[in-house]
Structure 1
Amino acid sequence: MELSILDLVPVRVGQSTSDSFAASHELIQSADKLGYTRYWVAEHHNMPSIASTMPGAELMYLGQGTERIRLGSGGVMLPNHAPLAVAELFSLLAAVYGDRIDLGIGRAPGTDPITSAAMRGHLGEGRMVDREGRTVDPVEQFPQHVIDTLSLMKPEGLRVPLHGGREHVLHATPAAVPGTQPLPWLLGSSGYSARLAAELGMPYVFANHFAAGATTGMKIYRDNFVPGAYGDKPQTFVTVNAVVSPTEEEAQLRAEPFLLQMSRLRTGGRMEPLRLAGDDVRSVRTDQERMVGEEMSENWIIGDAASAKVQLEELAGRFEVDEIMIQPVAGAMEGEGLRQDAARIQSLELLVAEFLN
């Protein structure tokens, strides 16, 4: 089984953004040496516990010093960006890192409605409109924007029709070296994304780390896949939250900070930097948040290395995939370095050691 990593660049109590990126840089360095297949960063906005907002720019830094691991976005939320801006940024990454770049594309806003409006220039009286003055919704234009982004990164470029029957050919610049164009992936948590990925013949990833229904999404994707430029058969894997520690008890303890954050996200609670594992979490967690967290954890991988391996193999078998992307969410404890994520790196190390046994 291939193992990959999704990183939100978490921010915990006492950490600065600089600290959290230093910790994630150490994480990817370890993942590269341990043999993980790919490392993706997410796009989220206005969340105190998440520093990852601009995957393309972050990868230019985080990829420094790596040699083989694939670098990608999990994902770029395309309605927040112009297709040309995305195509140029990821073509630039490919020009620097060669054929190791993945462009994961999503349709969700990655934030709250007000921040989403700000991302799209819609605050106050600002509105995107077409030439007739009608309001344009980037979400409704998502399929065409995906097609445009992919076309802009290809050698033949995107042909833009002009008046009088003329065309303008547009390319993402600087162009990647031929043969190193980013590999696109469509990300989703619904049948909509699965069907669109199948129709476009794109690789597809189901966001199992925060949504149910992966079985349905996978079936829609596989049943409707149309072979094309990205391969003759479906390419897919699933994501999952994971905490792997030397003991089951420690894994449960280290899962609590992120479980608290996710339960607050679901119940509308106060968002803040991640609490430390142990008394710091338990001193603020309500009974409702504890119960919601316990329910959510049933879809996570939490345990020692041996039990984690069994759970991962069961997950891979259930979805008929040979790659799983884990989001390492082991929380820190009092006294652990601010510019390191020792527990998250330990999760990666324990898994590799167990799979090599």
Structure 2
Amino acid sequence: MPASPRLSVLDLVPVRSGQTSAEAVTASVALARAADRLGYTRYWFAEHHNMRAVASTTPPVLAAAIAARTDRIRVGSGGVMLPNHAPLVVAEQFAALEAIAPGRIDLGIGRAPGSDPVITQLLRISGPTADVDRFPDHIADIISLLDPDGATLRLTNGREYPITATPAAAGSPTVWLLGSSDYSAQLAAQLGLPYVFANHFSGEGLERALALYRDGYTPSERHPVPETFLTVNAVVAPTAAEAQERALPQLRMFARMRMNQPLRELETVEEALTAPADGLAEELIAPIRSRWVIGDADAAAARVRDLAERHGVDEVMVVPVAGAYATEAVDASPGRVQTLELLAGALHPPVE
């Protein structure tokens, strides 16, 4: 049997019907504490905006809350959508996180908007931050600003102006480049940065992106060899039947996204099971389901091992997308906690 990969978590802080944002965040804090207890490697928050089913709008804020409530797990963003923010602000936020939890911070950076065109315009109204063409330069700026020695800006009069993201830094976060295209893979290779393909969202082009990244990698001082891992949506339960039921609310939301339908809070399992059948939605759900890890502990563990071996990675970041039954507490996410517990137990059973 191949060695089991390390496990990590990507959290979008899902919001279900009848649940407030505060209750959704409380549930995610408990989930992160479970991941810390179970030995997961890292816990990242995604950046999404104006989505009724997603409360992860501000990864740095959520990461700070989790860093303060966990002991060993790495925390960070998966990712910060850089064109929405000034590079100096991002550098300052993550330098502060590094001061809160030294040696435990990851800064994952992407260039997608994380929302619809209207919200994108509101986020980028300040102008210079919206210069997507300067994305590589802005990444380089952030890396320089995060360095304990800081960066130097040359003014028009020729004078040099020193800038640091924080005074007296003792270390800096690990910067990861995220994406779902050939562009992101090639840029990460060119810059000598760790790279993650958004397999949980796209699923198309994974093999090509990893090949481009690995084949074109330029070693850097901090990252002499390419580093990458795999992301995947996962629902694990005591039985395959329960896993399929708990997967249905998120599967239906993905189908609505593909159909360009209005998004709302996640359905409960009961709401998803009793909703009217939609032929087109069912056609869309089937291929989505085939790319997810859905099943009991043994089946899910086997699938995760296979994915890791097939793509040559030693870490898999799961997005625990298990839905909730109507009877479950609104300030908890038992299905998501169960996913992490069962998967960790099957892949990394405790040594007697």
Q: TM-score, normalised by structure 1?
A: 0.94
Match for 1:44 among 44, 48, 64? Answer: 48
**Which structure 2 residues correspond to residues 233-312 of structure 1 after superposition, within 5 A?**
233-284=225-276, 286-312=278-304
Partners in 1 of 2:71 and 2:180 — Cα distance? 31
Tell me the amino acid that sits aligned with residue 117 of structure 2: P
Match of 1:128, as an amino acid?
Answer: G
Distance 1:277 1:230 in 2: 45
Aligned to 2:187: 196
2:158 is aligned to 165
Code of the residue aligned with 1:104 in structure 2: it is G
Counterpart for residue 209 of structure 2: 217
Counterparts of 1:206 and 1:247, CA distance in 2: 30
> For residues 89-133 of structure 1, what are the alpha-carbon distances to aligned partners after superposition, in whole Å with 9 as ceiling and x for unaligned?
000000011110000000100000110000011xxxxx726xxxx
CA shift, 1:229, in A, is: 2.6
- The alpha-carbon deviation at position 318 of structure 1 amounts to 1.5
The two structures have a TM-score, normalised by structure 2, of 0.95
1:205 maps onto 2:196 in alignment: yes
**Partner SS state of residue 140, structure 1:** helix
Q: Which runs of 5+ in 2 are unaligned?
A: none
Q: Using a 3 Å threshold, how does the CA distance of structure 1 residues 285 and 16 change in structure 2: closer, same or farther?
A: farther
The farther-off stretch of 61-70 and 231-240 is: 61-70
Name the residue aligned to 1:133: none
CA contact (8 A) 2:105 2:174 kept: yes
What number of residue pairs does the alignment pair up?
Answer: 344
- Structure 2 distance, partners of 1:280, 1:302, is 17
The whole-number CA distance in structure 2 between the counterparts of 1:210 and 1:55 is: 18
For the 8 Å contact 2:248–2:272, the answer to whether it is kept is: no
**What CA deviation, in whole Å up to 9, does each residue of 1:303-350 have, x standing for no partner?**
001110111011101110000000000000111000000010001110
Distance 2:100 2:60 in 1: 12
Bigger drift between 163-172 and 341-350 goes to 163-172
2:120 pairs with 1:128: no
In the alignment, which of 174, 177, 182 is matched to residue 183 of structure 1?
A: 174
CA distance in 2, matches of 1:20, 1:207: 23
Q: Any conservation in 2 of the 1:222–1:234 contact (CA below 8 Å)?
A: yes
Contact persistence 1:191–1:216 (CA under 8 A): yes
Question: Which residue number in structure 1 is paired with residue 137 of structure 2?
Answer: 144
C-alpha distance in structure 2 between counterparts of 1:298 and 1:349, whole Å: 22
What amino acid is aligned across from residue 235 of structure 1 in structure 2? E
Counterpart residue identity of residue 75, structure 2? L
Tell me by how many angstroms 1:286 deviates.
Answer: 2.0
Q: Which amino acid aligns with 1:26?
A: A
% identity of equivalent residues: 47
Alpha carbons 1:206, 1:214 under 8 Å: kept: yes
Which residue identity lines up with residue 49 of structure 2 in the other structure?
Answer: H
Task: Please state if 1:110 is matched with 2:114.
Answer: yes
Distance across 2 between alignment mates of 1:166 and 1:279? 64
Alignment partners' CA distance in 2, 1:85 and 1:235: 26
* Structure-2 residue corresponding to 1:343: 335
Q: Output the aligned Cα RMSD.
A: 1.3
